[in-house]
C-alpha cells in the first residue's frame, strides 16, 4: 500500500500523529494504519546471540513488566515514565523512532545499547544503527517508502538503568534524561533532551571504563567525575521546558547516580 501511495502517512498508536493533526501541524491525505500487521507487534529473543528483536508496533505496556522487562530493565524503566496508562497502551517504539524527538524516552536506551533499526520497503530492507537513524530534532533517516519493522538490541548482560527529570513526577516530557548500561563490561551513557538528537558521551565513557574495578563497581569520586564529564559533553538549549544551565546540571546528576545504581543481570 505504501509503495502505491508514496506520500502516505503511517499510523501506529497515533499518540503523536493525532496530536499533530489536531493542531493542524500535519494534514495527511492518506493514512495507512499499521495496527493489524502482526509481524510489527511481536518481540523475540535469539537465544544463540542473546539479541532481542522488538517489533515497531509493540506498545510500551508490553515493555513495562513481564519477560521483555527482564531482558531490558532500562527499557522497562523508560517505558514506565511514558505518559499515562492510556498512552502506554497505544504508543509504540516505532512511533518514538518515527517522531524522533530528542525527548523520546525509549531513544536513550536504544542508543546506549547500540540498537539497529530495521527498515523495509517494496525494494528490500536495510539495517541502520540507531545513531545514524536519528539525524536531527524530529528528523530521521527513514525514506518515505519505508516502514520501520523493528529494532534489535542486546539483552542485558551487566547493570543498566534509565532516569528522567521533568517538571512533574508523571505525564511529563523529559527536561533531561539518561540511560546508563554496563554492557559486555563497557560503560555506555546516552542522553535525552540535551541536544538536537540523543547523544552518547565518548569522553565520559572512556573515563569510566578506566575507573571501573574488576566487579564493575564505580567509586564515589569516579561517579562524580563521570557526571561532570557527561555535563560537559551535553549540548542543551533554553526552551519552553527548561534552561540549558539546569539541563546541563541535571543530566550530570542523573549520570552520576545511574553509574552506581541500576538493575543487575
Ligand X SMILES: Cc1cc2nc3c(=O)[nH]c(=O)nc-3n(C[C@H](O)[C@H](O)[C@H](O)COP(=O)(O)OP(=O)(O)OC[C@H]3O[C@@H](n4cnc5c(N)ncnc54)[C@H](O)[C@@H]3O)c2cc1C
Kindly list the residues in this chain that would bind ligand X in the complex (CB under 6 A): 9-17, 19, 34, 56, 81-83, 87, 90-92, 94-96, 98-99, 104-105, 142, 147-148, 173
From the DSSP assignment, how many helices (H) and strands (E) are in the chain? Answer: 11, 13
∠ CA 205-92-193, nearest 5°, is: 40
User: What are the φ and ψ backbone dihedral angles of 227, each rounded to 5 degrees?
Assistant: -60, -40
Cβ of residue 168: shortest distance to ligand X, in angstroms? Answer: 11
Residue (95 or 161) nearer to ligand X, CB: 95
Joined grid coordinates for residue 221: 569520586
Cβ of residue 41: shortest distance to ligand X, in angstroms? Answer: 10
3-state secondary structure of 190: strand
- Residue 231 and residue 225: Cα distance in Å, rounded? 10
What's the alpha-carbon Rg for the chain, to the nearest Å? 18
Beta strands in the chain (DSSP E): 9-11, 31-33, 43-46, 51-55, 116-121, 124-129, 134-136, 139-140, 147-154, 160-165, 176-183, 186-192, 199-200
Residue (61 or 159) nearer to ligand X, CB: 61
Q: How many other CB atoms are there within 10 angstroms of residue 19's CB atom?
A: 12
Residue (80 or 211) nearer to ligand X, CB: 80
Cβ of residue 170: shortest distance to ligand X, in angstroms? Answer: 9
Residue (66 or 85) nearer to ligand X, CB: 85
Residue (106 or 259) nearer to ligand X, CB: 106
Cβ of residue 231: shortest distance to ligand X, in angstroms? Answer: 22
Of 264, 191, 174, the C-alpha closest to 226 is: 191
Joined grid coordinates for residue 69: 522487562
Residue (174 or 183) nearer to ligand X, CB: 174
Cβ of residue 117: shortest distance to ligand X, in angstroms? Answer: 10
Cβ of residue 214: shortest distance to ligand X, in angstroms? Answer: 36
Amino acid at each position: 500500500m505504501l509503495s502505491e501511495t508514496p506520500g502516505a502517512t503511517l499510523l501506529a498508536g497515533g499518540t503523536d500523529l493525532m496530536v499533530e493533526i489536531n493542531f493542524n501541524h500535519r494534514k495527511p491525505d492518506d493514512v495507512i494504519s499499521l495496527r493489524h500487521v502482526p509481524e510489527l507487534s511481536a518481540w523475540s529473543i535469539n537465544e544463540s546471540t542473546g539479541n532481542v528483536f522488538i517489533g515497531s508496533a509493540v506498545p510500551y505496556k508490553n515493555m513495562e513488566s513481564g519477560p521483555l522487562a527482564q531482558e531490558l530493565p532500562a527499557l522497562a524503566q523508560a517505558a514506565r515514565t511514558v505518559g499515562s496508562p492510556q498512552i502506554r497502551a497505544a504508543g509504540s517504539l516505532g512511533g518514538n523512532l518515527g517522531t524522533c524527538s530528542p525527548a523520546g524516552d525509549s531513544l536513550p536506551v536504544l542508543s546506549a545499547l547500540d540498537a539497529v533499526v530495521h527498515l523495509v520497503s517494496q525494494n528490500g530492507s536495510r539495517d541502520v544503527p540507531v545513531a545514524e537513524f536519528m539525524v536531527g530534532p524530529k528528523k530521521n533517516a527513514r525514506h518515505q517508502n519505508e516502514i520501520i519493522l523493528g529494532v534489535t538490541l542486546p539483552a542485558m548482560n551487566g547493570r543498566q538503568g534509565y532516569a528522567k527529570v521533568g517538571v512533574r513526577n508523571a505525564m511529563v516530557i523529559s527536561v533531561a534524561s539518561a540511560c546508563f548500561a554496563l554492557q559486555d563490561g563497557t560503560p555506555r551513557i546516552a542522553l535525552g533532551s540535551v541536544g538536537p538528537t540523543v547523544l552518547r558521551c565518548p569522553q565520559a565513557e572512556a573515563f569510566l571504563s578506566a575507573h571501573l574495578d574488576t566487579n564493575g563497581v564505580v567509586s564515589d569520586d569516579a561517579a562524580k567525575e563521570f557526571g561532570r564529564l557527561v555535563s560537559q559533553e551535553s549540548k542543551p538549549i533554553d526552551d519552553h521546558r527548561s534552561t540549558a544551565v539546569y539541563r546541563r546540571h541535571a543530566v550530570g546528576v542523573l549520570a552520576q547516580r545511574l553509574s552506581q545504581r541500576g538493575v543487575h543481570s
